[in-house]
Amino acid sequence: MAEPILTVKNLSKSYGEQQVLHDINFSLQKGEVMTMLGPSGIGKSTLLRCLNGLEDFQTGELVFEGQTVKADNANWQQLRQKIGMVFQSYDLFPNMTVLQNITLAPVKVQKKSKAEAEQAARQLLKRVQLSDYANSYPRELSGGQKQRIAIARALAMHPDLMLFDEVTASLDPEMVRSVLDLIKELSEQDNMTMIIVTHEMNFARQIADQVLFLDQGTILEQTAGKDFFTNPQTQRAKDFLASMDF
Amino acid sequence: MEHSGISVLFQGRNFVRLLGGLWTSVWIAALALVFGLLLGALIGLLRTSKSKLLRAIFRIYLEFFRIVPTVVLLFLFYYILPRQVGINWPGSVMATIAFALWVSAEFSDIVRGALISVPKVQQESGLALGLSKWQLFIYVLLPQAFQLELPATINLATRVIKTTSLLMMISVMDLINVGQQIIEANNQSHPTAVFWIYGLIFLLYFIVDYPLSLWSKKVARRNQN
Amino acid sequence: MDWQIIQQSLPQFAQGFRETLWLSLVGILGAMVVGLCCSLIQYFKVPVARQLVSVYVELFRNTPLLIQLFFLYYAFPVMGLKMSAVTCGIIGLIFLGGAYMAEGFTGGFDGVSKTQVDSGRALGMSNWQLARYIVFPQGFSLSVPSLAANIIFLIKETSIFSVIAIPELTNTALDLIGLYYRSNEYLFVLVIAYAIILIPLSLLLTWLEKRVRYGTFGD
Ligand SMILES: Nc1ncnc2c1ncn2[C@@H]1O[C@H](COP(=O)(O)OP(=O)(O)OP(=O)(O)O)[C@@H](O)[C@H]1O
Ligand SMILES: [Mg+2]
């Protein structure tokens, strides 16, 4: 098997006294999609945020594209250009147009020319089917549209790994589809490596190459393929799946 | 400088006199706050009433106090009330009234802001539980509004205390006036006394106001979470 | 109320009006600059300077302008630093206002939501880029209401300049009252004069607050 794109080794994290992640270990191959499931408040977001240094962690390390990363000695700014992240609350920059949102980081961080960045951005807009909104402000978009722009904004950096944290959780049901379809397309057409935290079980089942089930900050189950959904091993996982009712 | 000015602070009864002046200032501020907050709460409530006229009147009342600098306000009370209305109370009383009205105007806006910002759902869920309008006000709106607007109210108090520095302008024997008297009495023998006296007064104001500011910030931070 | 008295006093009040205006203008601009510098120092957590700034802000926010002016005008000369009343007034107003403006700017920067900063960070932006493209633009518009309140406040504070005999509006009125004992008339003109400055200005600032807020956040 090829070298994994990301390996997480013995990662632990505390907020002050309270330990929220206990000895997390997993690895991810290029092009693989991992869904991270688990009850609310058990540390999924925290884990995701540790992977691109938005949270620091006390022990353990990551190996990303062959490069060993510890919390304190990492050049996170460099790494984040290769690791895109999309949040539940979209967080488009309200004072910029859609196009400016997408081109900001390529121009300022990667020092691309404005023309080049804009051309790439228009390409991405076409891809997320929002070409008409290049010059709109985020306030003029619906939630689902904003979230697709947020994804486009992350893609503009040409990341090798994408992190999605409950990106459909604050969307109206009819908006959810368009966003999930886009993510699916990223996997199928672009072979994008992704880690997805979601409560959309049907979607998770369709897209997952690997499932991580977390509880109380530890990995309870780590399952290749879709077995997790048909054949959960632990009682906690069974209860969880039953409660999701899908 | 054979006589260091700092000794003036502790000469005779000087220090006690200064503290006495501070007491006058704090006392006036406290009275003005008590009356002002009570009146302001009432006006604030009235400003949420349905009567357009009532709302307009108190809006103008507020804007008047917003526009007129406090110094000018003090002079209005000091010069005009005695002559026009024929009351001739001491400056300290006039000042207390002027400050209290000013506080009531500012506080009415705080109260109004708090009342209209308590979410409508809260009001409706209260009514749905069978609370009367009055009970709703006392048990639901007021506590929430209080918590919400406590920082602004504390800030108002610190402003009132700072504003008592203006009392000397209408010859109330406040902290600064006492300080000036001491400075004048010692100007010949201790020319640097002015530095120490004003320095001390500066510090005294800070000692009174700073804890209040800290408190207000603390409450504001707690409100955010 | 004697209209003739009012009319005769108008030239003097016009003089005071101009004085109040230019003192306010200089004070406000200076305070903005001082306040912005202080809040930048706090934002970037510059060591030492940051502690000094917070001491300065707390000292000036928690003491009255009047005593600050007395200190500058009466106490500094005995330490060998003599300044004209107008200089003292301007310095006092700038430093008082600087402390308030610093709080205003800092409040705005702090008000920028953490998730906005996170998403900038997730795009690989440096601290400086985050400040330049996310925190400052959004923070400025969040601080506009408090800056506007400070502007009004500082203009009103110029009335305290009368205690060191700077011939601004309030001082003009007090002088006239002392000379001619016509308090009704002169105080009336005084209140009107402040209204002429402050009513249009506060309308303008309210309008600006809405514009800026909409321009930045769309609501
Ligand atoms: N900044 C913080 N300081 C202290 N504790 C925190 C902080 N952020 C999160 N936590 C705690 O860490 C734990 C994990 O939170 P996290 O947000 O990662 O959960 P989650 O699995 O993403 O939940 P959800 O599904 O609700 O998003 C929670 O108990 C939370 O209270
Ligand atoms: Mg989460």
Shortest-distance atom of ligand 1 to CA A55: 1
The DSSP secondary-structure symbol of C161 reads G
Query: What one-character-per-residue DSSP string does chain A give?
Result: -PPPSEEEEEEEEEETTEEEEEEEEEEE-TT-EEEEE--TTSSHHHHHHHHTTSS--SEEEEEETTEEE-TTT--HHHHHTTEEEE-TT----TTS-HHHHHHHHHHHTS---HHHHHHHHHHHHHHTT-GGGTT--GGGS-HHHHHHHHHHHHHTT--SEEEEESTTTTS-HHHHHHHHHHHHHHHHHH--EEEEE-S-HHHHHHH-SEEEEEETTEEEEEEETTHHHHS--SHHHHHHHHHH--
Beta carbons of B162 and C62 less than 8 Å apart: yes
Closest to B208 measured CA to CA, from B160, B142, B145:
B160
Per-residue pLDDT at B173: 81
Distance A141 CA to ligand 1 centre (A): 29
Rounded to an integer, the average pLDDT of A209-227 is 90
Per-residue pLDDT at B1: 46
What six digits make up the tokens of C151? 């502007």
What six digits make up the tokens of B22? 């501070």
Asked if residue C193 is part of any domain, the answer here is yes
Q: C168 in helix, strand or coil?
A: coil
Identify the residue whose tokens are 């004697």. Answer: C2
| Residue A141 pLDDT > 90 | yes
Our CA angle for C132, C134, C136, nearest 5°, is: 60
- Which ligand is nearest the CA of B225, by number? 1
Closest to B66 measured CA to CA, from C90, C168, C205:
C205
Asked if residue C187 is part of any domain, the answer here is yes
d(CA A44, CA A21): 9
Q: Which of C123, C217, C219 to mutate to test the interface with A (most CBs of A within 10 A)?
A: C123
Query: For residue A15, with 0-12 CB atoms within 10 Å meaning exposed, 13-18 middle and 19 or more buried, which class applies?
Result: exposed
Enumerate the H helices of chain B as residue ranges.
Answer: 6-10, 14-46, 52-67, 70-75, 91-117, 120-128, 133-135, 142-163, 175-186, 193-224
pLDDT band of residue A246 (cuts 50, 70, 90) is low
Asked if residue C1 is part of any domain, the answer here is no
Question: Is the Cβ–Cβ distance between B94 and B170 less than 8 Å?
Answer: yes
**What Rg do the C-alpha atoms of chain B give, in angstroms?**
22
Closest to C183 measured CA to CA, from B69, B67, B98, B82:
B82
Partner residue opposite A91 with nearest CB, options C115, C126, C217? C115
Cα of first residue to Cα of last residue in chain C, in angstroms, is 48
- Which ligand is nearest the CA of A39, by number? 1
What six digits make up the tokens of A111? 């020092």
Question: How many domains, in total, are found in chain B?
Answer: 1
Amino acid at B219: V
Asked if residue C181 is part of any domain, the answer here is yes
The DSSP secondary-structure symbol of C112 reads S
Asked if residue C97 is part of any domain, the answer here is yes
Rounded to an integer, the average pLDDT of A33-61 is 92
Distance A210 CA to ligand 1 centre (A): 23
Mean model confidence pLDDT for chain A = 92
Q: Is the minimum distance from the CB of A214 to ligand 1 under 6 angstroms?
A: no
Question: How many domains, in total, are found in chain C?
Answer: 1
Q: C198 in helix, strand or coil?
A: helix
Per-residue pLDDT at B2: 45
d(CA B161, CA B165): 8
Query: pTM of the full predicted structure?
Result: 0.88
Question: Is the Cβ–Cβ distance between A38 and A213 less than 8 Å?
Answer: yes
| Residue C21 pLDDT > 80 | yes
Residue to probe by mutation, ligand 1, list A13, A15, A36, most atoms within 8 Å of CB: A15
Per-residue pLDDT at C158: 97
Domain range for residue C40? 9-213
Between B7 and C180, the higher pLDDT residue: C180
What six digits make up the tokens of A58? 């006390």
Rounded to an integer, the average pLDDT of C130-151 is 95
Asked if residue B83 is part of any domain, the answer here is yes
d(CA A33, CA A53): 20
Per-residue pLDDT at A210: 93
Which chain C residues contact residue A91 at CB under 8 A? 113, 115-116, 118-119
Question: Given CA atoms B104, B106, B107, B113 in this order, what sign does their dihedral have?
Answer: positive
Tell me which residue has its CA closest to atom 9 in ligand 1.
A46
Half-sphere exposure of C164 (CA within 13 A, CB side): 22
Partner residue opposite C79 with nearest CB, options B163, B195, B202? B195
Per-residue pLDDT at B3: 59
Asked if residue B1 is part of any domain, the answer here is no
Q: Is the minimum distance from the CB of A45 to ligand 1 under 6 angstroms?
A: yes
Q: Is the minimum distance from the CB of A41 to ligand 1 under 6 angstroms?
A: yes
Beta carbons of B68 and C58 less than 8 Å apart: no
Shortest-distance atom of ligand 1 to CA A49: 18
Cα of first residue to Cα of last residue in chain A, in angstroms, is 34
| Count of all residues that appear for chain A in the document | 246
CATH of the domain at B109: 1.10.3720.10
Contacts of A70 (CB under 8 A, 6+ apart): A61
Asked if residue C46 is part of any domain, the answer here is yes
Of chain C, the percentage scoring pLDDT greater than 70 comes to: 100
d(CA B153, CA B147): 10
Q: Do chains C and A touch (3 or more CB pairs under 8 A)?
A: yes
Beta carbons of C62 and B192 less than 8 Å apart: no
pLDDT band of residue C47 (cuts 50, 70, 90) is very high
Per-residue pLDDT at C217: 87
Q: Could you read off the pLDDT of B74-109 as tens digits, one per residue?
A: 999 888 877 777 777 888 899 999 999 999 999 999
Per-residue pLDDT at C91: 97
Q: What are phi and psi of B198, to 5 degrees?
A: -65, -35
Contacts of C32 (CB under 8 A, 6+ apart): C97, C101, C147
Complex confidence, ipTM: 0.90
Per-residue pLDDT tens listing for chain B (225 residues): 445 777 777 777 888 888 888 998 999 999 999 999 999 989 998 998 889 999 999 999 999 999 999 999 999 988 887 777 777 788 889 999 999 999 999 999 988 888 887 777 777 777 777 777 777 777 777 787 788 889 999 999 999 999 999 998 888 888 888 888 888 888 788 888 888 889 999 999 999 999 999 999 999 988 887
Beta carbons of A94 and C123 less than 8 Å apart: no
Contacts of C87 (CB under 8 A, 6+ apart): none
Residue C161: CB atoms within 10 A of its CB come to 29
Which chain A residues contact residue C124 at CB under 8 A? 77-78, 80-81, 105, 109-110, 157
Asked if residue C27 is part of any domain, the answer here is yes
Mean model confidence pLDDT for chain C = 94
Residue C31, chain A, CB below 8 Å: the answer is no
CATH of the domain at C16: 1.10.3720.10
Asked if residue C3 is part of any domain, the answer here is no
Which chain A residues contact residue C129 at CB under 8 A? 108-109
Domain range for residue B17? 6-224
Residue C116, chain A, CB below 8 Å: the answer is yes
Domains of chain A: 6-244 (3.40.50.300)
Rounded to an integer, the average pLDDT of A122-142 is 94
Per-residue pLDDT at B54: 93
Of chain A, the percentage scoring pLDDT greater than 70 comes to: 98
Q: C94 in helix, strand or coil?
A: helix
Per-residue pLDDT at B151: 92
